[in-house]
Amino acid sequence: MQRLQIAYAMINTNRRDGSARALCEVAERLSQRHEVHLFARTVADLDLSHIRWHRMPGPGWPAVADFLSYHLLADFKIRAGDFDIIHSIGNNAMASNVITIQNIQPAKRPFLTVAGTQASLARRLTRWLFLNVTSAVEGRVYSNRARHNRPIPLFLPVSQGVDRELRTHYAIGSAPVRIIPNAADTDVFKPLAPEEKARWRHANGLREKDTVLAFAGGEWARKGLEFAIEALARIPRPEVKLLVLGQDAEASRFNELARRLGVGDRIVFGGFRRDVAEGLGASDVFLFPSRYEAFSLATIEAAACGLPIVATRINGAEDFITAGHNGFFIEHNPEQIARTLLPLLTSPELRQEMGRAARRRVEEHYTWDRVADLTETAYFEYLGLTTGKGAEQLETLAFHG
């Protein structure tokens, strides 16, 4: 196997953010057999023993300055002739010839606007500026017409939905595309033994006999937490509880909604925490009425923990869920959500059967080892296409996941 020189472009690299998590998992694995360089401002929770980190200085705040300063510096520090593969996570680097796409700004933006209606004026203005700047740069990086003499890139959207959004919003021509999904660490995210489950629940204000619906993540308005709370209020079973793993700047609004609907004592707001895997493993169902996702890591991780997935038909979920087999689809309708949950709430056997099916699907298709192998294969296929061929010939070729 040819040893590649690979550069990864990610502003802040860690395992908390979904986009960065994918880079960490793939870079660590491929660094065992290739020369891997990382161009990042900050690095946390990443094994650098086989990875050369190129520190990218600049302001970490506000977000728009963080992004723009990195993007401009990357034009000088990441040179196409120095690497076989320059793999950018999103629109970070103009020189990239491989781009992982976790979301498309014009597609995501309407949902962020809805989610930010309760935010302060200053927060709304800074978000507006960030979205406008990143959307403009995204068009410059993704559109073939804007790339001039730069190579046609290989696009790696994480789901079928993101693939559709990419083609809808940008003129990529016949640029090669591979759908490579997000994944889960099945050694970390796994079903808990009954005694472990009981212990975690006792420590976190839940009882063994409770039926626990788990919700995970930040940006609660975009992820539809209000629909989960309103659906809980329509389930007259006091043993059914909602566990919210994560934090949000507008948390008080959701606490007030829970109190107003009379279910404040049936919701555990767990906050940001490092034991998310245990919290999911101690739950019974993953409830995720999100408005927009690229491919939610939390969904895959909950499935790896053996939970049936009850989610809206959005990017990623539509790829993962087989309705009635490993989960159900829901709408943004609290009554419909409550009705859909009922069979799972009344049948522990059904929950277990569907949870096992969800775990099997992760083991077969959504592990980081498989994602790293798919990424490596895509690199070699792309280099095979591009070696010795002109841009005109490339435009007649395409990969599809």
What is the overall mean pLDDT for the chain? 92
- The two tokens of residue 346 are 């009344």
> pLDDT tens across 232-289, in order?
999 999 999 999 999 998 999 999 999 999 999 999 999 999 999 999 999 999 999 9
Those residues with Cβ within 8 angstroms of residue 57's Cβ, 6 or more apart along the chain or in another chain:
41, 73
N-to-C CA span, the chain: 23
Question: Do 332 and 307 belong together in one domain?
Answer: yes
> pLDDT tens across 355-364, in order?
999 999 999 9
* pLDDT for the residue 351: 98
Q: What is the C-alpha to C-alpha distance for residues 326 and 310, in angstroms, rounded to an integer?
A: 9
pLDDT of 39 over the 60 cut: yes
pLDDT of 388 over the 70 cut: no
Q: What is the C-alpha to C-alpha distance for residues 280 and 198, in angstroms, rounded to an integer?
A: 13
pLDDT of 399 over the 50 cut: no
Q: What is the C-alpha to C-alpha distance for residues 310 and 308, in angstroms, rounded to an integer?
A: 7
* pLDDT for the residue 392: 41
- Answer whether residue 137 is part of any domain: yes
Band the pLDDT of 393: cuts 50, 70, 90. very low
- Answer whether residue 126 is part of any domain: yes
Q: Which domain holds residue 253?
A: 194-365
CA neighbor of 101 nearest in space, from 168, 16, 187, 46: 168
* pLDDT for the residue 113: 59
CA neighbor of 200 nearest in space, from 266, 271, 280, 273: 280
Question: Do 125 and 200 belong together in one domain?
Answer: no
Share of the chain above pLDDT 70, in %: 93
Q: How many domains does the chain have?
A: 2
Question: Do 143 and 220 belong together in one domain?
Answer: no
- Answer whether residue 46 is part of any domain: yes
Going by their DSSP bridges, the two strands 12-13 and 42-43 should be labelled as parallel
Which segment of 17-26, 51-60, 368-377 scores lowest on mean pLDDT? 17-26
- Per-residue pLDDT averaged across 340-365, rounded? 98
* pLDDT for the residue 121: 73
Question: Do 24 and 163 belong together in one domain?
Answer: yes
What are the two backbone dihedrals, phi and then psi, of residue 262, each rounded to the nearest 5 degrees? 80, 20
**Alpha helical stretches, state H, 234-332:** 251-260, 276-281, 297-304, 317-320
- Answer whether residue 210 is part of any domain: yes
Q: What is the C-alpha to C-alpha distance for residues 291 and 372, in angstroms, rounded to an integer?
A: 29
* pLDDT for the residue 127: 80
> pLDDT tens across 46-70, in order?
999 999 999 999 998 899 999 999 9
Band the pLDDT of 112: cuts 50, 70, 90. confident
CA 344 to chain centre: 26
> pLDDT tens across 152-168, in order?
999 999 999 999 999 99
For residues 246 and 389, which has the higher predicted lDDT (pLDDT)? 246
Question: Do 279 and 351 belong together in one domain?
Answer: yes
DSSP 283: -
Q: What is the C-alpha to C-alpha distance for residues 257 and 353, in angstroms, rounded to an integer?
A: 33
CA neighbor of 115 nearest in space, from 298, 293, 320: 293
Question: Do 343 and 384 belong together in one domain?
Answer: no
What CATH number does the domain containing 127 carry? 3.40.50.2000
Question: Do 95 and 164 belong together in one domain?
Answer: yes
For residues 4, 7, 8, 9, the Cα torsion angle rounded to the nearest 10 degrees is -160
Question: Do 251 and 233 belong together in one domain?
Answer: yes
pTM above 0.75, yes or no: yes
- Answer whether residue 342 is part of any domain: yes
Question: Do 140 and 241 belong together in one domain?
Answer: no
SS3 364: helix
Question: Do 340 and 376 belong together in one domain?
Answer: no
Question: Do 100 and 160 belong together in one domain?
Answer: yes
- Answer whether residue 239 is part of any domain: yes
- Per-residue pLDDT averaged across 367-389, rounded? 88
- Per-residue pLDDT averaged across 291-315, rounded? 97
- Answer whether residue 273 is part of any domain: yes
Instruction: With beta carbons less than 8 A apart as the criterion, state whether 14 and 20 touch.
Output: yes
> pLDDT tens across 134-193, in order?
999 999 999 986 666 778 999 999 999 999 999 999 999 889 999 999 999 999 999 999
Residue type, 337: I
For residues 214 and 129, which has the higher predicted lDDT (pLDDT)? 214
- Answer whether residue 116 is part of any domain: yes
Band the pLDDT of 16: cuts 50, 70, 90. confident
Those residues with Cβ within 8 angstroms of residue 220's Cβ, 6 or more apart along the chain or in another chain:
115, 226, 244, 246, 248, 250, 251, 254
Question: Do 90 and 227 belong together in one domain?
Answer: no
- Torsion sign over Cα 350, 224, 235, 201: positive
* pLDDT for the residue 348: 97
Instruction: With beta carbons less than 8 A apart as the criterion, state whether 304 and 190 touch.
Output: yes
